Structure 1
């Protein structure tokens, strides 16, 4: 701004015009749009009505075909043991090799961030961590189970320290029971804040990973590896929840077996309020990321719909864009942190209605925990629909980055020139894929919730009646999810 004339009026007009243009322009979402407008082939309300009708139909089908014995059979569905395969893989030293590879990737992410080029697209760590791990590995977990429990690089680091210092692995203090999963919730919120507002670059990502590594190693020394990686380490909790939907049930050192897809959601209920909040934040953080990219969201603050800011500052906040930008960051951060508790309030309202219609046989707490995992398919498809295109546009570049992780112009494995150009799918295909995934996730959630209701209530009619509030909640989630997705791509 130093090159512009010093006149305050000129600067104010320029800032106001620029901000106003920003406000009135259809904004592309940072992580799930393509920077150009796509006009929906039919009005949005048709998609909303169609999705609601599909959910209602699936609810009626579930109510007609699902019975208490079938629900019990699905929850206790027999699994096919693959322990022979697990033993063979262990003999081939595959688990040890995967642990070593995961630890190498973590160390390379930190090293390349510190000494590599500052270009985010040419540095290995940005693509490896944000795209391959946070997105790709999470989606892989939904297919093959909790592989992260085996390859967790922070657990591997702690185990290496434990070999030299055995007491370190066991910890100095017992894990406090009231803490439950709250440390994972706090770290998850911090992680999302860094993702959305941290403006990370290779060096800062390396610094954040170093800090997170230090937190994990200190926590293991305090409360022990077993409890920390069960309750406190955010990716352990995150991947374990996603793995409940996988057709492969894998617990390192215990078993490897096949099961019906999504049947893991019915095995046990949520065990604590903190775990329920974690699940709800999986939903709300993704929805918030999409919502904050819409014109409607920007207008709430910068358009001053209430008129309070104009009265307070003496002029519209859009003309004070530069001065108010830090306050807007604080406002968005607060909204993000409060989002899971807002979702919790809405969720509990519908749970209270479920209890009332179900005959009050169970407490609100019991019902809230019992139906918590039925939200996980929605959380997964929200995540996939918002971010999966990044795997096509940026994730494929990991092949070339492996040969040149620091951006120095190397070609270690002969792949430096491979897949540099992103795959750009047709926007119509992307939109209808998103609609299909959103609808699929909600239908699965309706089915899981109804199956759980059949286990909780004695009669089929009472179970069906109790699920009417959950059906309404699913319709609201579906409509809101589709609306958020449609805003950045369909224009004003």
Structure 2
């Protein structure tokens, strides 16, 4: 969930590897000086002029959030905020029974697709756009699965191919998935967060080629199997396998509440109101809170790093300090500074969740002071953390939907020719090869609308949680003023990132 506004590196044309990199650097830095303030139509290599200035969109979004805050305060009362939202068990329905019979085949298919992605990584076309594994993993799995999870719940928990492989090994090696050591509870979800940030770094700073993807999938498969063997299946997929943690959090927005049973525990499959999971669950500890914030911060960082402003911040040397230190402008020392730039970007990527955490804790501390609440700061921070998840998912949708439209349907043609050998196994090799490119104005206004909508949902969810945690409506309203300011800041920052011109050349 992590490349807002434009196609990730794997679907861009290769950067020139010519020796004259200085010319490329100058070209990239000339952009901010020559281009006016048009808005990049994200997902497309074009600029779009919105009908009104971007600052007007920011003011309109802020006013909308304030109005939503007032409406929530008027319409929502304590008696409308039950601690356990109503749900209906649907495990006995005919559709669910049919799906349950299909589960073994679906799980086997998941493993086969994983193996196909590995095989095409090593043996398939070297063109990322014509490679089945690249399109399926990055576009269908990384992009589409989160959207499907919002609609149908955490189906990944049932189909997780790495869990299926662990279960298969458990049948051959009795006790394989029981674990050898007890998982330290103090670790919480920190392992999942570390792996998630490492994965984002691999996506953003890797070569974006099929073979490295094959290496990643093989390595991640071995890591999952080793983790299952070491700490056991339950602990590994609850705290360490970052796709499982990520999609479990996204599923809190879904009207379908699915939880896979463990051991003798029965599974759960209920229908509930959309976003009800955000009211009934809260992070376990600071690690879970940080993971939720990372879903938001990494998306924002990935959008920011591709802007001319961000590249110019390092290479244009606005303070002049680097020029005095080097004796020449940074752009003229590209070869020696390139590793430093990559390290600088990596540092900000890994720091981004904690930057957001600091801003969030500041808002919660102010809310606690305004209400004179005796509830500890840590507990209040955990109470409201998942109210930010709607913002995270709409940022993902805002910045990735164009890429999904442009490349997602190609999977139908690649299924018939997964290795790029001009096969036509299922008669679909010529289907949907052309990208779907919506009008730029549609893209821009959809992005603005989604960002505002996600923040409005977060305002209502946070107010419902406040009604549960504070004794009076007055305190509930007061507690949400800092959160409202934080959400307005997120909204304006998101629109500002969308409005920045993109770099012509990546400086790495």
Could you tell me the TM-score, scaled by structure 2's length?
A: 0.91
Q: Does 1:278 align with 2:288?
A: no
Question: What is the root-mean-square deviation of aligned Cα atoms in Å?
Answer: 2.2
Asked if structure 1 preserves the Cα contact closer than 8 Å seen for 2:257 and 2:270, the reply is: yes
Q: Deviations over 1:27-77 (max 9, x none)?
A: 9999943111101110011100000000000000000111011012xx422
Counterpart of 1:425 (choices 423, 428, 438) is 438
Which structure 2 residue ranges, 5 or more long, are not aligned?
Answer: 1-15, 262-266
Indicate how the Cα distance of structure 1 residues 16 and 167 shifts in structure 2: closer, same or farther if over 3 A, else same: closer
Q: 1:466 Cα shift?
A: 1.2
- CA distance in 2 between partners of 1:122 and 1:39 (Å): 33
Gaps of 5+ in 1: 5-10
Give the conservation status (yes or no) of the 8 Å contact 1:31–1:387: no
How far apart in 2 are the matches of 1:330 and 1:352? 33
Give the Cα separation in 1 of the matches to 2:333 and 2:353: 31
Tell me which of 386, 406, 431 is aligned to 1:393.
Answer: 406
Are the counterparts in 2 of residues 38 and 490 from structure 1 also a CA contact under 8 Å? no
Looking at structure 2, the residues matched to 363 and 2 of structure 1 have their Cα atoms a distance apart, in angstroms, of: 54
- Please point out which of 245, 259, 267 is paired with 2:280: 267
CA distance in 1, matches of 2:338, 2:17: 18
Structure 1 counterpart of 2:330: 317
User: Bigger CA drift: 169-178 or 369-378?
Assistant: 169-178
Task: Say if 1:452 and 1:315 are closer, same or farther in 2 by CA, change over 3 A.
Answer: same
Matched, 1:35 2:31: no
Q: CA deviation at 1:405?
A: 0.4
Aligned residues between the structures? 483
Secondary structure (helix, strand or coil) at the match of 1:210 reads: helix
**SS of aligned partner of 1:394:** helix
Instruction: Give the 3 Å change call, closer, same or farther, for CA 241–13 of structure 1 in structure 2.
Output: closer
Summarize the alignment of residues 371-390 of structure 1 with structure 2, pairs less than 5 Å apart. Answer: 371-390=384-403
Q: Which residue of 2 aligns with 1:227?
A: 235
Q: How does 1:132-151 map to 2 (within 5 A)?
A: 132-151=140-159
Describe the SS at the equivalent of 2:447. Answer: helix
Partner residue of 1:415?
A: 428
SS of the aligned residue for 2:213 comes to helix
Query: 1:323: Cα distance to partner?
Result: 2.5
Q: 1:121-136 residue pairs with structure 2 within 5 A?
A: 121-136=129-144
Describe the shift of the 1:3–1:130 C-alpha distance in structure 2 as closer, same or farther (beyond 3 A): closer
Query: 1:21 maps to which residue?
Result: 30
Partners of 1:352 and 1:364 within 8 A in 2: yes
Displacement of 1:153: 0.3
Answer yes or no: is 1:112 the counterpart of 2:120.
yes
The answer for the alignment partner of 1:469 in structure 2 is 482
Instruction: Report what 1:482 is aligned to.
Output: 495
Map of 2:12 onto structure 1: none
2:457 & 2:387 partners in 1: Cα distance?
A: 8
Q: How far does residue 3 in structure 1 lie from its aligned partner after superposition?
A: 8.5
Matched, 1:185 2:193: yes
- Separation of aligned partners in 2, 1:20 and 1:78: 56
- Cα-to-partner distance string for 1:163-212 (whole Å, 9 max, x where unaligned): 01122110111111111101100000011001111122111101111111
State the alpha-carbon separation in 2 of the partners of residues 275 and 403 from structure 1: 41
